[in-house]
Amino acid sequence: MSLGTNLYTLRQRAGLSQDALAEKLEVSRQSVSKWETDASVPELEKLIRLAEMFNVTLDELIRGDATASSPPEETPEPVPEIPDVETSEQPSNRPPAPSQPYWTGKRVAGVVLLSLGGLILVALILLGGFGTGLFLSSPFFICGTIFLKCPKRPGLWCAWAVFIFLYAYLSAFIGISSTLVLTPLLPWYVNVLPLSEMTRQLITSGAILAALLAMTGWTLWSFWRTPFPRTRKNILTVVILWIVRIALVQIMGRLVLPALSMGDPGAWTYSLLTPAMVLDNVGCDLLTAAAVVTTIKLAKRA
C-alpha cells in the first residue's frame, strides 16, 4: 500500500477534506492532492505532523498494512520516459478522491457579507445618503472579497481590514491615535480640551491600543508554526521594517505635520493634513505590529 493510499484512507477516516487538511498543515490543497496520488512526497516535517495528527507511527503512515514482499519473478518491460506533466488520474488501487464541494463555509460567508453590503448600500442610497451608504457598506464588501479570494486565514485578514478601516476613520475625523492614552498628562493636552472630551478621547485611544495588541497577538499565534528561518533575506526584511517605522515617525512627527499645521490652515492644507495624520497614526502602528511579529518569529528557535 503506497503512502498516497494510506494518506487518503487516514484522511477519509478522520472526516477531513483536502482543504481542511491543507489548512492544518499550512500547504495548498494541490499539495495534498499530489501526495495522495503519489505525484510527490511530503517533507519529513510534514510526515511527522501527519503521523501525530492521525495518531499513527511513521512506519504505519508510509507503509500501512503492507508487509515486505519479494520482488516479482518477471521483470516488467521498460517504460519509455515521458515528460513530467500534471495528471488527474487516480491510482488504480483505491477509489478516486471525492470532488470538493464548491459551496464551502468560506464561500458562503463571502457571499453573505457581499449581499449584506449591497443591501445596506442600496437602502441608504434610496434614503438619500450615498456617501453614508458607501462608508457603512465598505467593511462588508472588503470582508466578503477576502473570504472569497483568500484561502488561508480569511478571518484574520478580515479583522485587520475592519480594524484599519475604523482606525483610519477615527484618526481622520477625530484625530485619535493609539499612543494618546500613553501621554494623557501633557500640559498642552490638559489645557486645550475639557475634561469630558479628554476622557472620551483617552477611552477611545485605549480601545484602539487594546485592539492593536490583540490583533498583533492573534497574528503571531496564527503564524507561530509557519517557518521563518534566520536567513539573510529574512533578517534584512526585519531590519527594513524597523528602519521604515522609525523613519516614518521622525518624518511625519518632526517635518510634515508641523509644517502643515503652521499658521491658519486653508482647505487645501487641511486636505493634506488629514491623510498625513492617518498615515502617521495608522501606518506607524501597522509597521510596529509587522516589525514585532517578524522579530519574534525570527528570534524563535528554528
**Which CATH number goes with the domain that contains 7?**
1.10.260.40
Query: Is the per-residue pLDDT at 163 higher than 70?
Result: yes
Predicted pLDDT of residue 94 = 55
Residue 183 lies in a domain: yes
Using the 3D structure, point to which of 63, 81, 101 is the last residue of a domain: 63
Is it the case that residue 271 has pLDDT exceeding 80? no
Pairwise CA distance, residues 19 & 34, whole Å: 13
Write down the mean pLDDT value for the chain. 79
Closest to 38 measured CA to CA, from 86, 83, 89, 3: 3
Chain centroid, CA 85 distance in Å: 32
**171 alpha carbon, distance to own chain's centre:** 24
Tell me, yes or no, whether 145 lies in a domain.
Answer: no
Give the model confidence (pLDDT) of 248-263 as tens digits. 888 877 777 676 666 5
CA 237 to CA 190: how far, in whole Å? 40
In a domain, 23, yes or no: yes
Is the pLDDT score of 91 beyond 70? no
Q: What is the pLDDT of residue 292?
A: 94
Residue 35 lies in a domain: yes
Structure pTM?
A: 0.61
Note whether residue 290 is domain-resident.
yes
Q: What is the pLDDT of residue 66?
A: 39
Q: Is residue 76 part of a domain?
A: no
Q: What is the reported pLDDT for 216? A: 95
The CA distance from 223 to 294, in Å, is 10
- Joined together, the cell numbers standing for residue 71 give 520482488
Tell me which range, 123-127, 213-217, 249-253, is most confidently predicted by mean pLDDT: 213-217
pLDDT computed for residue 67 by the predictor: 39
Angle 216-145-21 (CA atoms, 0-180°, nearest 5)?
Answer: 70
| Confidence class for position 89, pLDDT limits 50, 70, 90 | very low
Q: Which amino acid is at 72?
A: P
What is the four-CA torsion angle of 222, 150, 162, 285, rounded to 10 degrees? 50
* 47 phi/psi in degrees, rounded to 5: -60, -40
In a shared domain, residues 52 and 170: no
pLDDT at 11 over 50: yes
In a domain, 171, yes or no: yes
pLDDT at 294: 93
* pLDDT in the model for residue 195: 65
Q: Which of 111-115, 119-123, 281-285, 297-301 has the lowest mean pLDDT?
A: 297-301
Lowest mean pLDDT among 12-16, 160-164, 264-268, 271-275: 264-268
| Helix segments in the chain, DSSP class H | 3-14, 18-25, 29-36, 44-54, 58-63, 105-126, 130-149, 154-173, 187-192, 195-222, 232-251, 257-261, 267-278, 284-299
Q: How far apart are CA 147 and CA 117, in angstroms?
A: 14
Write the single-letter amino acid at 137: S
- Is 156:222 a contact under the CB 8 Å cutoff? yes
Nearest-angstrom CA–CA distance, 75 and 238:
57
Where a domain ends, among 39, 63, 87? 63
Q: Is residue 214 part of a domain?
A: yes
pLDDT value of position 70: 36
pLDDT at 37: 86
CB 284 within 8 Å of CB 249: yes
Residue 164, domain extent: 152-299
**Residue 194 phi/psi, 5° resolution?**
-65, 160
The verdict on 165 and 283 lying in the same domain is yes
Question: Within this chain, do residues 53 and 158 fall inside the same structural domain, yes or no?
Answer: no
CA atoms of 72 and 142, how far apart (whole Å): 60
Please check whether residues 287 and 164 belong to one and the same domain.
Answer: yes
d(CA 91, CA 38): 8
- The mean per-residue pLDDT over the stretch 70-89 comes to 46
User: What total number of domains does the chain contain?
Assistant: 2
